[in-house]
Copies of this chain bind each other. A is one copy, B any other.
Amino acid sequence: MNAPHDPSSAGAVLAQKAHFDAPLKLRGGAELAAYDIAYETYGELNAARSNAVLVCHALNASHHVAGFYEDNKSNVGWWDNLVGPGKPLDTRRFFVVGSNYLGSCFGTTGPASINPASGRPWGADFPIVTVEDWVEAQARLADRLGIERFAAVIGGSLGAMQALQWTLSYPERVHHALVIAAAAKLSPQNIAFNEVARQAIMTDPDFHGGHYYDKGVVPTRGLRIARMIGHITYLSGEAMAEKFGRLLRRKHLGFDFDIDFEIESYLRYQGDKFSTYFDANTYLRITKALDYYDPAGDFGGNLSAALARARAQFLVVSFKSDWRFPPSRSREIVRALLDNRRIVSYLEIDAPGGHDAFLLEDPRYHSALRAYFANIDL
């Protein structure tokens, strides 16, 4: 994190909101009559409108990608180590857009928003949204901002799925796609973890079938368990071993059910924290968006056929210690792109951080991104 006076910080930023009145038809069949998209921008759009980069966020992040808020300087953007003046994604050269996905609880219209049909929060009635829907909404935001083509779309994990989908939904609107810590679809084990998290939330007595907003409760217990499960899959076993080992919280084993090992303390803390700020209905929908994403699905499982319409140039990055989306999943994407004679750079980094490595400041990773962005012609 950067101190506010750090010259490489994007500085004090403002969250903005764009309202859209044209109905958005969703992949699942439902239609959103109107919606807001929360977003932030860093840097300046050049006269040719050729220097825009869209940053797509993953599970629990938001449009607050870089910089800080004037009234809350410690609230630094989630990818602040990457985005700023002189940083790998250099805001002196690029106009960076962070956009919050549909269904979020951070400003974009989502389950906690008011359903115009009822005048009450959507709750369980908010539709299931997909990666494809998110790209659709982002495209409308791009129209609003006057961006015809992005110099690059970048994302990690679920954000990488959006970057990939951009090259399929709008092949002509993406010059470069940076697809990091990605999978072209979830494995059944990935789906299994998501399903346990969903069941923890949905069986929490405070869930009330998704209509908890006017009950004065939130399914904290379920969200907490969901986050703990998720966290295990974001970290590598190696990183956990190195960071926590079998370190005890107390001097000796307690022979009770208080915290014995530091890893337990860490997980409980992560779960507690998450359950105070994240919305359960959003969590449910994000995991479904992950489960449902499968661009090869309409092509009999043939990813090469699915990616044939992509026109972008690609940088694909994976991390060896990522067991949620291991390098083999990225290599599937690379192979499918090469089958289509796309220009692809592929980087497999032997970093210990697991799936979350895409958020960390590994020097090899960051210097590769720096070089890649520097070589993008505007």
Residues of A bordering B, CB below 8 Å: 27-30, 127-128, 185-189, 191-193, 195-196, 198-200, 202-205, 221, 224-225, 228-229, 231-232, 235, 237, 240-241, 243-246, 253, 255-257, 260-261, 263-264, 267-268, 271, 284, 288, 291-292, 294, 323
Query: Which of B191, B225, B237, B323 has a CB less than 8 Å from the CB of A199?
Result: B225
Q: Known: A195-B267, A237-B187. Contact between A202 and B29, CB under 8 A?
A: no
Query: Which of B196, B204, B225, B263 has a CB less than 8 Å from the CB of A191?
Result: B263
Q: Known: A29-B255, A256-B128, A264-B195. Contact between A232 and B189, CB under 8 A?
A: yes
Closest B residue, CB atoms, query A202: B257
Query: Which of B205, B246, B323 has a CB less than 8 Å from the CB of A185?
Result: B246
**Dominant SS among interface residues on chain A:** helix
Query: Which of B228, B235, B261, B291 has a CB less than 8 Å from the CB of A291?
Result: B261
Instruction: Decide if A241 touches B188 in the complex (CB within 8 Å).
Output: yes
Instruction: Decide if A200 touches B225 in the complex (CB within 8 Å).
Output: yes
Most B CB contacts (10 A, CB to CB) among A30, A204, A240, A257 go to A257
How far does the alpha carbon of A255 sit from the alpha carbon of B199 in the complex, in Å? 16
Instruction: Decide if B237 touches A191 in the complex (CB within 8 Å).
Output: no
Closest B residue, CB atoms, query A261: B191
